[in-house]
Amino acid sequence: PRPGSPAWSMPPRRFRRARTSLPAQIGGAAGTLAAVVGLARLRGLADPVGAAQTAADATATALGLTPRAPWHTTRAPLTAAGDALVTAADAWGRIATDITLLTRPEIGELAEPAGEGRGGSSTMPHKSNPVLSVLIRRHALAAPPLAATLHTAAASYVDERPDGAWHVEWETLQTLARRSVVAGSQATELLAGLRVDAARMRATAEAAGADLLAEQRSLTGFVGGEILAGSEAAAGLDDYLGATDALIDSAVARAHELWKDL
């Protein structure tokens, strides 16, 4: 991903929204608080409806959840949680895809952390397979259909406890959450031990030669509508990285802000 818009910057925002807005489900069988209102009347409270709502809100707060109206047939809290997990899978999968590509023998710019009995090939002893990246990619490819199941179930809620739609949610969300924990652990191990062959990267860049500067050449060839001479157009092309350092610093600073409250 581009340094200015890292794929890993989105999941923390989704997680924080899903966590801080998780609502309590307090409404009784039909979502009307009828039983609590009835109890308040039996106790002779002047405002039984207000008392029932106050009790529901206080219970939610005590549980660390957000007070809100009953959401029996509005399944956005569950789909939001699933979407947050899938967004994380997308980011991890994007990283793993890059690493899978760059660990290919013909490229060889990256290598996964070594492990006992990990990554060997029974037919090609010299080969080291990117096992962690493959496992992360497996999760990234399998996660979106699970979130789709949650959305399909949400669209099928015809009453408070619909047959099938209600029952498919928890197993699906649990599977998605469990696999996300595993993939997150694998991504942590992968990035912590990733080996970078800077010399190989430099050799690849040098082999590409002037092709790396094609965009800069086309832009710096025009100033005020005038085409500069070749020697003048070449001025300023020595820094291929451009504003990369500043973009990386900005992305890392945003990441620190996103993660510090999680």
Q: Is 121 one of the annotated active-site residues of the chain?
A: yes
Amino acid at the residue 249 = D
Outline where DSSP puts E strands in the chain: 110-111, 195-196, 222-223, 226-227
List 41, 118, 161, 178, catalytic entry: 161
Is 2 assigned a catalytic role?
no
What b-and-e string marks burial along 166-180, b requiring 16 or more CB atoms within 10 Å of the CB? Answer: beebeebbeebeebb
CA dist 7 → 13, 152, 219, 259 (Å)? 12, 26, 28, 14
Is there a contact between 184 and 104 (Cβ–Cβ < 8 Å)?
A: no
Residue 28 is given by DSSP the state T
Please give the full DSSP string across 160-214, using - where no structure is assigned.
SS-TTHHHHHHHHHHHHHHHHHHHHHHHHHHHHH-EE-HHHHHHHHHHHGGGGGH
- CA nearest neighbour of 85 among 27, 30, 140, 164: 140
Catalytic residue among 5, 121, 185, 218: 121
Pairing between β-strand 222-223 and β-strand 195-196 as defined by DSSP bridges: unpaired
CA dihedral over 61, 64, 65, 66, signed as positive or negative: positive
- Any idea what DSSP says for residue 227? E
CA distances to 22, 167, 176 from 63, in Å = 11, 24, 24
User: Locate tokens 């991504």: which residue?
Assistant: 187
Catalytic site positions:
121, 161
